[in-house]
Amino acid sequence: MSPLAISRRLKLLGTYDFQLYFPFMPQLTSSSGTRFLLTTFSWARPQVHGKLLKSRRTFPSPSVPFAARLLRCPFRVRSGGEGPGERRTSVASTSVVSFLLLFTFLLSPLASSANTQRYRLTWRADPATTMTIGFEQYHGSSARVVYGTEDHGRDANAYPLSANPARFVNHAGMRNVFVRLKGLTPATVYYFLVVDSDGTSRRMSFETPHDSPDRPLSIIAGGDSRNNRETAMAANRLVSKLKPHFVMFGGDMTNGDTPEEWQQWLDDWQATISSDGRLTPIVAARGNHERSNESIYEIFDVPNPKVYYSLDFAGGLLRTYTLNSLFPAGGDQADWLEQDLASCKTMWKFAQYHHSMRPHTVSKPERDELIYHWGTKFYRYGMNLVVESDVHTVKQTWPIRPSQEPGSSQGFIRDDLRGTVYVGEGCWGAPLRANNDNKPWTRASGRFNQFKWIWVDINQVQVRTVMIDRSSYVVQENNLETRFKSPPGMYYWDAANTGDVLRILRRTEVANSMARNPPLAAQSTPSIQAASAPAVLVRDGNGAVRVSYSMPAGGRPEILIVGAGNRLLWRGQLPVRGPGPYSDKVDLPELPRGTKMELVVKAGGKVVAKYELR
């Protein structure tokens, strides 16, 4: 860690004089020209050996006690000159070795550190041959990245390649800089420095994914870090241990989308950097706590300002779809999704987005429009796995497809041959909710902080649900050879009907051939509810039913309960709806049982759904 990085962790405000005490050291001059006056007092007073004066530097914001405890060194900070108004923070220590280590850091040239921080990696194009390096430049000018396949430490002149920024943007109180690297070699580790007018960053590295479908991929997927920083940091540190090829993050990074929260989030994201300086790329989606698309676009430089996009991995092994559930699900987004899926030739297809189609907690609304615009396409074109967020519970489903045929529930039915597996729902640190809304096609659900660790190869996908809190004591880091092994201390959810590994096997039929020649069921039941389809609704113990219907145009749907002889027994209204399919829970008044009744849904003066009510 560079001295500037140490100073950032100290979070010093303003200009300070450092007073540090070391045993028996002469006057020295650092390589940067800073002079240190050290005076020896006595072996008998180990806490007062001498003092280091006048190493003066101004640092930006943020806790001396933290770093002092971390280094376990005698450390005193004095603001301004000596006198009665001075402020001091001191920490006692018995470790002389720690003194010397800190002294070594201070002797390194502080003035040669770049004014950059909050590093992140993303992609805009082929992950095997490109990489976008993003960071904040809070001071200085002429930022660039020098890089190469050999590690030259912080010697900027030794790196053979250099790239200038492609984009600067001021957002969330930061000057975000993005350097887009191209022409990289697949399956290669690159070492890099960020260089600016004032110096160089610490040496960092990244790995380009391989481009061979014969080799597996390791992926972490989750979302909803929000406001529980302790849990989010524990998850981030696990990323640094597992060293996946990339992280799929389903939105709600922050709670209020404020500059302060984004700066804290990016500070915390630095915990994903491994001890060897390796950064893990993030594939980011937008959540409802990101108030606009700009928050994702301006901080992660994603390929599309509307924040829906796809990426190919491993030479046709996998294509990922990042969708935006805060943007209209139909229209341009649905058209793009259909065209991309129709042309996709990869062996596996994954999708991520924020809002769950069928949340597994009763406090969250159903998202019928997502089933209509996306779920039907997932089935038609063979989507294998979908990662949802937002709900702050844990779930995994059986393979399911959209349907209203007998045996279906809430617009889905189990289909082990051609269905899509849905997992989620958040829990990277956001407040947990109860998993109190399971469906007949729910495989298992739970309530704890978690993310998914996904392994993908030609024959199968393995999904492990990592229990963040129980796994937070993992120390050992994987290397590139052991990234498909579980470090000691990892805990996985032992889920009902599954165990600790959810396996998805390759389908026997090619998804594209299904798209060209869909089975009759796929043609006849792609929507949530056909207006003319007869069905039976059975009231639950509280007299409530779930009513599915499709709105041909915007308006306020009306619910009518009709008895024998077309006698109107009850009338009610639902909230105003736009065009599209819906599924609403309706609380009915006390009605006679054992009497033949019909429930009719009308919109715009027309019947859009009709049920027999029991």
29 DSSP 8-state letter: E
Residue ranges of the domains in the chain? Answer: 3-112, 116-207, 217-524, 536-613
Instruction: Over range 194-198, report the average pLDDT.
Output: 96
Better-scored residue on pLDDT, 539 or 69: 539
Tell me the residue length of the chain.
614
Bridge partners (DSSP) of residue 207 are: 189
Bridge partners (DSSP) of residue 322 are: 309, 352
Bridge partners (DSSP) of residue 77 are: 18
Per-residue CA distances from 82 to 87, 358, 429, 610 (Å): 9, 65, 45, 85
Q: What is the pLDDT of residues 372-403, one digit of tens each?
A: 999 999 999 999 999 999 999 999 999 999 99
606 DSSP 8-state letter: E
Per-residue CA distances from 561 to 5, 581, 600 (Å): 69, 21, 6
Say yes or no to pLDDT of 30 above 90. no
Q: Which of 26, 30, 20 is nearest to 38 (CA)?
A: 26
Instruction: Over range 148-170, report the average pLDDT.
Output: 98
Residue showing tokens 């341009």: 332
What proportion of the chain, given as a percentage, has pLDDT over 70?
Answer: 77
Please, what's the b/e burial string for 122-152 (b: 16 or more CB within 10 A of its CB; e: otherwise)? Answer: bbbebbbbbbbbbbbbeeeeebbbbbeeeeb
- Of 28-32, 237-241, 350-354, the one with minimum mean pLDDT is 28-32
Please report the pLDDT score of residue 98 as a whole number: 52
- Of 176-190, 413-427, 549-563, the one with minimum mean pLDDT is 549-563
Please report the pLDDT score of residue 139 as a whole number: 93
Topology of the domain comprising 217-524: Purple Acid Phosphatase; chain A, domain 2 (3.60.21)
Contact (CB, 8 A) for 285 and 300: no
Say yes or no to pLDDT of 530 above 80. no
- How would you list the strands of the sheet with 57-59, edge to edge? 57-59, 14-20, 75-79
Please report the pLDDT score of residue 70 as a whole number: 40
- Of 93-107, 151-165, 496-510, the one with minimum mean pLDDT is 93-107
CA distance linking residue 103 with residue 111, whole number of Å = 16
Same fold, 217-524 and 536-613: no
Instruction: Over range 252-258, report the average pLDDT.
Output: 96
Residue type at 577 in one-letter notation: R
Contact (CB, 8 A) for 302 and 212: no
Better-scored residue on pLDDT, 239 or 113: 239
In order, the DSSP letters of 179-205 are EEE-SPPTT-EEEEEEEETTEE---EE
- Beta-strand relationship, 189-196 and 144-148: antiparallel
591: its two tokens: 């009605």
Please report the pLDDT score of residue 372 as a whole number: 96
3-state secondary structure 46-96: CCCCCCCCCCCEEECCCCHHHHHHHHCCCEEEEECCCCCCCCCCCCCCCCH
Q: Which of 184, 239, 238, 191 is nearest to 209 (CA)?
A: 184
- Of 42-51, 296-305, 409-418, 593-602, the one with minimum mean pLDDT is 42-51
Q: What is the pLDDT of residues 5-16, one digit of tens each?
A: 444 444 333 333
Please report the pLDDT score of residue 29 as a whole number: 32
389: its two tokens: 């967020």
Contact (CB, 8 A) for 595 and 564: yes
Q: What is the pLDDT of residues 286-323, one digit of tens each?
A: 999 999 999 999 999 999 999 999 999 999 999 999 99
- Of 20-29, 287-296, 383-392, 475-484, the one with minimum mean pLDDT is 20-29
Q: pLDDT grade, residue 536 (50/70/90)?
A: confident
Per-residue CA distances from 577 to 65, 90, 367, 530, 583 (Å): 56, 63, 13, 17, 11
CATH entry, 536-613, from 3.40.50.300, 1.10.357.10, 2.60.40.10, 3.30.2320.80: 2.60.40.10
Better-scored residue on pLDDT, 504 or 592: 504
Query: For the chain, what is the radius of gyration of the CA atoms?
Result: 29
Q: pLDDT grade, residue 477 (50/70/90)?
A: very high
CA distance linking residue 563 with residue 598, whole number of Å = 7
Q: pLDDT grade, residue 71 (50/70/90)?
A: very low
Instruction: Over range 166-184, report the average pLDDT.
Output: 98
33 DSSP 8-state letter: S
Q: Which of 135, 138, 123, 121 is nearest to 177 (CA)?
A: 135
CB atoms within 10 A of CB 563: 16
Q: Which of 137, 181, 175 is nearest to 162 (CA)?
A: 181
351: its two tokens: 């999708």
H or E stretch including 342? helix 331-343
Per DSSP (E only), the strands in 469-543 are 502-505, 536-537
CATH entry, 116-207, from 3.40.50.1860, 2.60.40.10, 3.40.30.10, 3.30.2130.10: 2.60.40.10
Q: How far is CA 245 from the centre of its chain?
A: 14
Per-residue CA distances from 584 to 191, 410, 411, 559 (Å): 54, 10, 11, 11
